[in-house]
Amino acid sequence: MLSRSEPEGYAWMAYVLASAHLSHAEAAMRLLVDLARGTNKKFDQGAQERANQLLLDMADELRKQR
């Protein structure tokens, strides 16, 4: 696999998920969320806000790489 910066890696994952059949993308996301939750019962609390901010920060980083 090509070496990618962290923002490039996330952009690649977003592209792959967006390109996959909806049911496959949903299954992959359910698996990833379950893995990320692990034993952290509070994982979902505030997760959307954290995810949004992380994506915005990475978008800024990708813009800088142009």
Mean pLDDT along residues 10-19:
91
Residue ranges making up the domain that contains 25: 6-64
Given a contact cutoff of 8 angstroms between Cβ atoms, the answer to whether 20 and 28 are in contact is yes
Q: Is the pLDDT of residue 3 over 80?
A: no
Confidence bin at 60 (pLDDT 50/70/90)? very high
The half-sphere exposure of 63 on its side-chain side, counting CA atoms within 13 A, is 6
Count of domains observed in the chain: 1
- Its pTM stands at 0.66
> Phi and psi of 15, rounded to 5°?
-65, -45
Which of 57, 66, 64 lies closest to 10, judged by CA?
57
> Phi and psi of 41, rounded to 5°?
-65, -20
In a domain, residue 1? The reply is: no
Confidence bin at 2 (pLDDT 50/70/90)? low
